[in-house]
């Protein structure tokens, strides 16, 4: 882990500005100004460098960051970052500085001059009084407070106490949080809500024992669910926003070690984090200079949110928190354990998902019916698709004209003109129990769809009750398959679309038989794991009135032996549904 951290930070060194307060990694296309973007790139490496120093690791470039802290917080310096204000990107980045002060003051604070310390303290104190967004951001001033407390800077703790109380109000039970008063249950739960909570429990637990106990207990409970999000090779289910933070997905496992929470055997916790890092290091996620790129499985700027600048991916360095843990801790001394054998289906109602372990754990498929996120770029694709796979990923649109631009894998898209398509975007009335998910959505005022998702590993079934006041065309996609490997065989015809290639096998079967299969070649750069894909799809036409649609979907990393296509579950696999369900 130390070697990897240095591999990731060494390419940053030539990119420092003359005053060392900014890292210029590329052109900023985020909604915040260049000064904040370059602060972001400067601060985020501290998520790894602070723990490295805390654990006794050496780093020969600390002076660059110390000079940058001095210049960036000096109002008279040309590289001054600007004051921290309400709901400000600068507030986000103060959290990494707070952690570094809290765990490694000898590397960050002690070598500064008296005036430099005063400037840094005064700048950080703005974060204590600034108003954060009402979600995981409430933790940022708390992290700053941990750092200031460690170096002896006095401040009023009352605002942070109120923020901690507010954060605890987001607890849902079962170890889950919402990310604010919303329906969001994504990676911000492990790499933000739990991560910061475990840091607080470890560093402030003696003074706040009741809260520290609750934070640890919730994290231990959450681990039992979160382990289902990872395949046996370390891949995590790609889902939700901020995927460009990449191996921050696994940061929760290291935070357990930092707070000494043995939620699972230490060898199992260690295995989750190490396999995850190894999986990422096999992906082309760095450019020719060694810098982390915007994207997920490869450089894919179209995936980025409006709050992603060139330095944003370095939130991934949160995964290095266990470097602060002593070498004799059982996290380090325990033998690394392989992934545990887990049930084939884990339904997690707090998140509105069911996770299927397929191919003996080599692939995890998440069925999702609860969530939506309308303000982030490609929010419908990131939250409201029906299935997300560790092997096939998911796709985001590259335009609004036709199925090829829409890249409608793992969703049902509808059109009233044959050109512009509307997939599931905003869900409501969602439930999840015993491998059965249900939701409602309405792409037009006179069109309502009720959708049921049924986990039958390795297959999943989808049933839709479509009530429409207009003529519609439909296109329902299976998984997107990498098309850079020539297909061994393919078939598309009445009631089916199938593809078998070295990059995986994918089948979608219409259980009603009325729709026609086709293979849609999505535009390049749409899928988060493979740059060029083809999507087996069922297409149909529907007049005004009520229609029942049902299909079975299969995606396998490895095709089973034999010349026959896998046989899908029959209609008997569909449970009784309200309104009678599809005709049997």
Distance, in Å, from the CA atom of 386 to the CA atom of 480, rounded to the nearest integer, reads 13
- Tell me if 201 sits within 8 A of 259, measured CB to CB: yes
* Distance of alpha carbon 59 from alpha carbon 62, whole angstroms: 6
pLDDT at 370: 84
> Does domain 346-580 bear CATH number 2.70.98.70?
yes
Please check the confidence at residue 438 and state whether its pLDDT lies above 60.
yes
**Hey, what are 265's tokens?**
């055997």
The contacts found for 286-291 with CB under 8 angstroms, 24 or more apart, are: 286/11, 289/11, 290/7, 290/8, 290/10, 290/11, 291/11, 291/12, 291/15, 291/25, 291/26
pLDDT of residue 584: 43
C-alpha neighbours within 13 Å on the C-beta side of residue 283: 25
Stated pTM of the model: 0.97
Mean pLDDT to the nearest integer, 369-392: 92
Both tokens of 236, joined, read 């995590």
Q: What is the pLDDT of residue 578?
A: 74
Q: What is the mean pLDDT of residues 64-89?
A: 97
For residues 380-406, average pLDDT: 97
Report, as an integer, the average pLDDT of 311-324: 98
Determine the pLDDT at residue 524: 98
Q: CA distances (Å), 126 to each of 83, 120, 130, 149, 479, in order?
A: 7, 10, 6, 15, 48
DSSP state of 526: -
Structure tokens at 529: 């794991």
pLDDT reading at 515 higher than 60: yes
Phi, psi of 547 (to 5 degrees): -140, 145
Tell me what pLDDT residue 580 has.
Answer: 65
Question: Mean per-residue pLDDT for 175-203?
Answer: 96
3-state secondary structure of 359: helix
User: What pLDDT shows up at residue 255?
Assistant: 98
Residue 533 φ then ψ, to 5°: -140, 165
Average pLDDT, the chain: 96
Q: What is the mean pLDDT of residues 282-309?
A: 97
SS3 257: helix
> Measured between alpha carbons, how far is 481 from 530 in angstroms, rounded to an integer?
8
pLDDT of residue 138 exceeding 80: yes
Q: Residue 66 corresponds to which tokens in the numbers above?
A: 């110390």
Residue 106 burial (10 A CB sphere; 0-12, 13-18, 19+): exposed
The answer, yes or no, to whether residue 111 has pLDDT greater than 60, is: yes
User: Domain ranges in the chain?
Assistant: 2-333, 346-580
- Average pLDDT of span 130-147: 98
CATH number of the structural domain 2-333: 1.50.10.20
> What is the pLDDT, as a whole number, of residue 28?
83
Residue percentage of the chain with pLDDT more than 70: 99
Task: For residue range 150-159, list pLDDT tens digits in order.
Answer: 999 999 999 9
How far apart CA 39 and CA 328 sit, in angstroms, is: 35
HEC string of 433-481 equals ECCEEEEEEEEECCEEEEEEEEEECCEEEEEEEEEECCCEEEEEECCCE
**pLDDT category, 292, cuts 50, 70, 90?**
very high
**Mutual angle of helices 62-72 and 114-129, in 10-degree steps:** 70
- Which run of H or E residues covers position 269? helix 266-281
Q: pLDDT-derived band of residue 582, with 50, 70 and 90 as boundaries?
A: low
């Amino acid at each position: 882990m130390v070697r990897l951290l240095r591999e990731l930070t060494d390419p940053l060194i030539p990119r420092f500005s003359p005053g060392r307060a900014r890292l210029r990694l590329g052109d900023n296309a985020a909604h915040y100004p260049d000064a904040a973007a370059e602060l972001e790139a400067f601060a985020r490496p501290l998520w790894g460098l602070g723990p490295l120093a805390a654990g006794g690791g050496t780093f020969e470039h600390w002076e660059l960051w110390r000079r940058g802290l001095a210049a960036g917080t000096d109002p008279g310096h040309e590289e001054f970052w600007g004051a921290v204000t309400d709901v400000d990107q600068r507030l986000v980045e103060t959290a990494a500085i707070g952690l570094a002060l809290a765990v490694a003051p000898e590397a960050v604070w002690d070598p500064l001059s008296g005036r430099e310390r005063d400037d840094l303290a005064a700048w950080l104190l703005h974060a204590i009084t600034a108003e954060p967004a009402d979600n995981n951001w409430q933790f940022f001033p708390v992290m700053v407070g941990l750092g200031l407390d460690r170096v002896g800077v006095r401040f009023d703790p009352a605002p942070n106490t109120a923020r901690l109380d507010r954060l605890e109000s987001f607890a849902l039970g079962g170890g889950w949080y919402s990310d604010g008063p919303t329906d969001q249950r994504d990676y911000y739960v492990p790499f933000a809500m739990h991560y910061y909570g475990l840091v607080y429990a470890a560093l402030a637990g003696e003074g706040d024992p009741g809260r520290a106990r609750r934070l640890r207990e919730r994290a231990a409970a959450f681990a039992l669910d979160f382990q289902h999000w990872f395949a046996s090779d370390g891949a995590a289910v790609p889902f939700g926003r901020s995927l460009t933070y990449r191996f921050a997905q696994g940061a929760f496992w290291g935070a357990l070690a930092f707070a000494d929470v043995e939620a699972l055997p230490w060898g199992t916790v260690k295995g989750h984090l190490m396999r995850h890092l190894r999986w990422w290091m096999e992906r082309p996620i760095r450019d020719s200079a060694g810098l982390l790129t915007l994207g997920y499985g490869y450089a894919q700027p179209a995936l980025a949110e409006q709050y992603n600048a060139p330095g944003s991916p370095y939130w991934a360095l949160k995964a290095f928190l266990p470097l602060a843990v002593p070498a004799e801790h059982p996290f380090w001394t325990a033998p690394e354990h392989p992934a545990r054998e887990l049930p084939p289906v884990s339904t997690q109602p707090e998140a509105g998902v069911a996770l299927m372990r397929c191919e003996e754990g080599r692939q995890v498929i998440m069925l999702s019916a609860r969530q939506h996120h309308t303000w982030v770029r490609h929010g419908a694709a990131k939250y409201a698709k029906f299935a997300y796979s560790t092997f096939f990923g998911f796709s985001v649109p590259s335009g609004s004209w036709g199925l090829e631009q829409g890249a409608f894998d793992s969703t049902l898209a509808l059109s009233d003109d044959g050109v512009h398509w509307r997939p599931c975007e905003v869900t409501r009335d969602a439930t999840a129990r015993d491998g059965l998910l249900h939701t409602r959505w309405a792409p037009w005022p006179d069109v309502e769809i009720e959708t049921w998702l049924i986990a039958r590993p390795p297959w999943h079934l989808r049933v839709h009750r479509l009530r429409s006041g207009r003529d519609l065309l439909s296109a329902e996609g299976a998984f997107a398959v990498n098309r850079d490997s020539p297909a061994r065989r393919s078939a598309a015809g009445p009631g089916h679309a199938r593809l078998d290639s070295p990059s995986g096998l994918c089948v979608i079967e219409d259980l009603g038989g009325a729709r026609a299969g086709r293979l849609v070649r999505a535009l390049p750069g749409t899928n988060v794991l493979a740059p060029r894909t083809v999507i087996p799809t069922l297409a149909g036409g529907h007049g005004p009135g009520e229609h029942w649609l049902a299909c079975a979907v299969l995606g396998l990393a490895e095709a089973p032996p034999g010349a026959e296509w896998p046989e899908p579950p029959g209609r008997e696999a569909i449970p009784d549904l309200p309104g009678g369900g599809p005709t049997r």
